[in-house]
Chains A and B, each alone.
Chain A
Amino acid sequence: AQTVTQSQPEMSVQEAETVTLSCTYDTSESDYYLFWYKQPPSRQMILVIRQEAYKQQNATENRFSVNFQKAAKSFSLKISDSQLGDAAMYFCAYRPPNSGNTPLVFGKGTRLSVIA
């Protein structure tokens, strides 16, 4: 079964600095999708960034970028120029394509605090 591991339960970063959240996953598939979701205190999970495994280029969305290392099965999220609004729980998630009956698998999450 696929698993997703986030080894950092909590992280903190100074405002305007850069922080990297780690995620590793286990799969025997060669094609799949990876996601980072943000859950602020408002509870709504928001999709931050999406990566297709067959694309070697790392995905980027404004201040958010990933470092996707397929061989190492690593998918870290880098947040640049951190803002107070970035404080939230961040979840890494995995799903194979044509997944049929396979649900999205989430890691346990990393709580990010942003210090003013």
Chain B
Amino acid sequence: KAGVTQTPRYLIKTRGQQVTLSCSPISGHRSVSWYQQTPGQGLQFLFEYFSETQRNKGNFPGRFSGRQFSNSRSEMNVSTLELGDSALYLCASSLRTGVMEYGYTFGSGTRLTVV
């Protein structure tokens, strides 16, 4: 069973550019969440999508956006990159079955470096 796949694994961008990160969840998982991980702030929630709808959004500026496609694959986009956007971006998928919570399955992340 394939896990959560994130592409690319590494990315170097220049300030002011934009970037798109991709996440393919585990087959059958319809919920995809994105987190930003930095040494100083730890894991910070970006947004969650379920069946193509954004269910929740973290406290990030509007430069951070995302979407989910009908096959549950998700993308996140960061426009007008800043040095502070350098981080590990983690995607996680989960099987939401009402009251049961099985936890997230994470991808290996995309390491974004802004220079």
Residues on A lying within 8 angstroms of B by beta carbon are 33, 35, 37, 42-47, 50, 91, 93, 95, 97-109
Residues on B lying within 8 angstroms of A by beta carbon are 33, 35, 42-43, 45, 48, 55-56, 58, 88, 90, 92, 98-109, 111
Q: Out of A50, A91, A103, which one reaches B56, CB within 8 Å? A: A103
Complex Cα distance, B99 from A37, in Å, reads: 21
Contact, CB under 8 Å: A43 / B108: yes
Known: A47-B104, A104-B104. 14 other contacts (CB 8 A): A33-B103, A43-B109, A45-B92, A46-B106, A50-B103, A97-B101, A98-B99, A99-B101, A101-B56, A103-B33, A103-B56, A106-B35, A106-B43, A107-B42
Smallest beta-carbon distance A40→chain B, Å? 11
CB neighbours of A97 from chain B (8 A): 99-101
Contacts A33-B103, A43-B109, A44-B108; is A98 near B43 (CB within 8 Å)?
no
Query: What are 15 A-B pairs at a CB distance below 8 A?
Result: A42-B108, A45-B90, A45-B92, A47-B103, A93-B103, A97-B100, A98-B99, A99-B101, A101-B56, A103-B56, A104-B45, A104-B104, A105-B45, A106-B42, A109-B42
